[in-house]
A = this chain, B = another copy of it.
Amino acid sequence: MSIASRKEREKADMRARILSAAHDIFKENGYDGLNIRSIAERIEYSPATIYLYYKDKNEIFFALQYEAAAAKRDHLLPATTIEDPWERLIAFGRLYVDFGLKHPDWYDLLFLTRAPMEHIENQECWTLGMATHSFFVETVEACVAARYFKSTDSATIAYTLWCHAHGMVSLFVRERMRMYPAEVRGELAKKSFEMIVKMAESL
């Protein structure tokens, strides 16, 4: 038993070390600079060894996506303690955009990377992401319940607000705001956020 459990521990350790190396490389060079050989080099093993612990690169991708989802959840945490649903919703949105602008790589990994989305529903990162998303939807529902909106279609309200926030971040992350000088982009995002809040107040 002892040997078996030790081996199990060692296996888990190795997986963790691989992921940690992948994490570091990703943070340093982005997803493009992340490849099997660079991970192998960093942990001082041969590339083939990686495949004894992860089925393929996608599995590492999912694991990294989990880290990104966790980072996002942590970033949004301060909003969860706000009592008033409307204030909570605004704080949540502000933190969401803030997360995207501050950690474009993480955001990219979560929402923009073209990657093995086929069976993501079975992955832990999906569960974590869904929990965060549910919190957002529930906050909108709480606003509806508290009659902050005339509309009662909380699903559409949540989706609409999400689209706006995601649109802002992803235009920024994927560098599609080059028609605006770099200096004004932050200001524009801020103004647009305030505008969507105003717009939401009329819902």
Interface residues of A (CB under 8 A from B): 32, 108, 111-114, 117, 120-121, 126, 130, 133, 151, 153, 155-157, 159-160, 162-168, 170-171, 174-176, 178-179, 188, 191-192, 195-196, 198-200, 202-203
Contacts and interface: CB of A to CB of B under 8 A. Distances in A.
Given A120-B178, A130-B179, A174-B112, A163 B164 contact: yes
Contacts of A165: 163, 167
Contact of A167 (B163, B175, B200): B163
18 contacts: A112-B170, A114-B174, A117-B174, A117-B176, A120-B178, A153-B191, A155-B188, A156-B188, A156-B195, A160-B164, A160-B199, A163-B165, A163-B192, A164-B164, A167-B168, A170-B170, A196-B199, A199-B203
Which secondary structure dominates chain A's binding surface?
A: helix
A174 B198 CA distance: 29
Copies in the complex: 2
Nearest 7 A-B pairs (CB), nearest first?
A167-B167, A163-B167, A202-B202, A199-B199, A166-B167, A117-B175, A156-B191
Given A199-B202, A203-B195, A117 B178 contact: yes
A176 B111 contact: yes
Contacts of A200: 199
Contacts of A175: 117
A121 B192 contact: no
A151 B171 CA distance: 24
A157 to B, nearest CB: 7
Among A121, A133, A160, A200, residue most surrounded by chain B Cβ atoms (within 10 Å):
A160
Nearest to A30: B114
Contacts of A120: 178
Given A160-B199, A162-B171, 14 more contacts: A108-B114, A114-B174, A151-B195, A156-B188, A159-B188, A160-B164, A163-B165, A163-B167, A165-B167, A166-B167, A195-B203, A198-B203, A199-B202, A202-B202
